[in-house]
Amino acid sequence: MRSARLTLALDSGAVTLPDSGSIVVYRPRADDDLSALPKDRLLLVQGFRPDHDALAARGFRVATEGGTGHAAALVCLPRARAEARALLAEAAASVADGGPVIVDGQKTDGIETAYRDLAARLPVSAALSKAHGKLFTFAAGPGLEDWAARPTEIDGGFVTLPGVFSADAPDRGSELLAAALPKDLAGRVVDLGAGWGYLARTVLDRRAVKRLDLVEAEHAALVCARQNIPDPRAYFHWADATRFRLSKPADVVVCNPPFHAGREADPGLGLAFLRTAARLLQPAGVLWLVANRHLPYDRELRTLFVEVDEIGGDAAFRIVRAARPRKAGRPDV
């Protein structure tokens, strides 16, 4: 666990923090134990809204960007290699030259690869191993500029950033859902879990759509969506989709819900998206959904909606049209 490695590193003298100055912590999770660090000096950088809000509720100072001029940094290594490299480059630039950058992660998240990659470019400390992970340090300064996060343009002219879901190309489920959306889509639409805006472009191709609310929990993905979707009918919300509210009910929700929390499959997350969709819709509203065939959504869909029909898909995914949310599923918008 992160707390065990941090405590061991500080107590053993393997890591020494400067006596003063702020300490920036990149991508800590909602439940990370950071008690080994001086809380009043911490700035936590977290762009995933549920984790951001949970950390803020614990009394931490939380932001989506780290800035510069810090005395030290801790990088909580994410699993995606491109995102990990971008965070390491950001951390190296955010700390005063020579200040310590601490890198911590699980073996399953690629900490050993990160160690080898950094050691090939910069002097790094010996790695401290504990609790199925490793921790090591390097001195802030130049040398990682080419790892910095840069927008990438993919097919279709979409722009993405390292770490966002399906950064290299649209995922197959979203492609199937986009192809299935009716040409006469109209009114107020919500894209729940909008990502970097692939589905939104298809929705806004329908001239009868009056408004599209893009709801996305990952800040970097929403930054991309703002660039990809310049349509004035689009409104962008950095929000936990499971808690999102509207001032007026929607006519349509489109959704390709996530079903993983970190490395672990979590069908309950997708079920929470379905409940939000039902709550956001007006009584005659329609949900257009794509989901992996193995996910156990049928019972919840039929509890939430009067009409549930599979209208397309392939061997891996199914497209569902669910209409007329039941009153119990939509107490308040």
pTM of the model: 0.93
CATH number of domain containing 97 = 3.40.50.150
For residue range 163-191, what is the model confidence (pLDDT) as tens digits?
999 999 999 999 999 999 999 999 999 99
C-alpha to C-alpha distances, 106 to 9, 45, 61, 134, nearest whole angstrom: 15, 19, 25, 6
Q: Is the pLDDT assigned to residue 333 strictly greater than 80? A: no
Q: What pLDDT band is residue 265 in, cutting at 50, 70 and 90?
A: low
- Picking from 147, 173, 201, the residue at the C-terminal end of a domain is 147
Question: Could you tell me if 211 and 303 lie in one domain?
Answer: yes
Q: Is the pLDDT assigned to residue 260 strictly greater than 60? A: no
In order, the DSSP letters of 208-268 are TEEEEEEEESBHHHHHHHHHH---TTEEEEES-GGG---SS-EEEEEE----EETTEE-HH
Question: Could you tell me if 190 and 98 lie in one domain?
Answer: no
Question: 308: domain range?
Answer: 152-329
Helix (H/G/I), strand (E/B), else coil: 28? coil
Q: Is the pLDDT assigned to residue 263 strictly greater than 80? A: no
Q: Is the pLDDT assigned to residue 58 strictly greater than 60? A: yes
Question: Could you tell me if 14 and 105 lie in one domain?
Answer: yes
C-alpha to C-alpha distances, 248 to 47, 242, 277, nearest whole angstrom: 27, 17, 13
Mean pLDDT of 305-310: 98
C-alpha to C-alpha distances, 215 to 37, 60, 140, 197, nearest whole angstrom: 34, 25, 36, 10
Question: Could you tell me if 297 and 258 lie in one domain?
Answer: yes
Q: Is the pLDDT assigned to residue 328 strictly greater than 80? A: no
Question: Could you tell me if 82 and 26 lie in one domain?
Answer: yes
- Picking from 130, 147, 164, the residue at the C-terminal end of a domain is 147
C-alpha to C-alpha distances, 319 to 177, 265, 298, nearest whole angstrom: 6, 20, 12
Using CA atoms, how far apart are residues 14 and 103, in angstroms rounded to an integer? 13
Per mean pLDDT, which range of 187-196, 243-252, 259-268, 323-332 is the poorest?
259-268
Using CA atoms, how far apart are residues 124 and 198, in angstroms rounded to an integer? 40
Q: Is the pLDDT assigned to residue 332 strictly greater than 90? A: no
Q: What is the pLDDT of residue 177?
A: 98
Q: What is the pLDDT of residue 148?
A: 96
Mean pLDDT of 117-142: 96
Q: What pLDDT band is residue 259 in, cutting at 50, 70 and 90?
A: confident
Residue 240, both tokens: 């936990």
Strands 152-153 and 133-139: unpaired
Instruction: Kindly report the average pLDDT of the chain as a whole number.
Output: 95
Question: Could you tell me if 279 and 172 lie in one domain?
Answer: yes
Q: How many CB atoms lie within 10 A of CB 57?
A: 10
- Picking from 147, 163, 179, the residue at the C-terminal end of a domain is 147
Question: Could you tell me if 24 and 105 lie in one domain?
Answer: yes
Report how far Cα 240 is from the mean position of its chain's Cα atoms: 10
Query: Which of these, 230, 222, 325, lies nearest to 274 by C-alpha position?
Result: 325
Question: Could you tell me if 129 and 271 lie in one domain?
Answer: no
**How much of the chain exceeds pLDDT 70, in percent?**
96
Number of domains in the chain: 2
Question: Could you tell me if 156 and 53 lie in one domain?
Answer: no
Backbone angles phi, psi at 9, to 5 degrees: -65, -40
**How much of the chain exceeds pLDDT 90, in percent?**
92
Mean pLDDT of 299-308: 98
For residue range 232-249, what is the model confidence (pLDDT) as tens digits?
999 999 999 999 999 999
Question: Could you tell me if 127 and 198 lie in one domain?
Answer: no
Q: Is the pLDDT assigned to residue 261 strictly greater than 70? A: no
H helices within 95-204, ranges in order?
A: 111-119, 172-180, 198-204
Question: Could you tell me if 157 and 67 lie in one domain?
Answer: no
Question: Could you tell me if 228 and 122 lie in one domain?
Answer: no
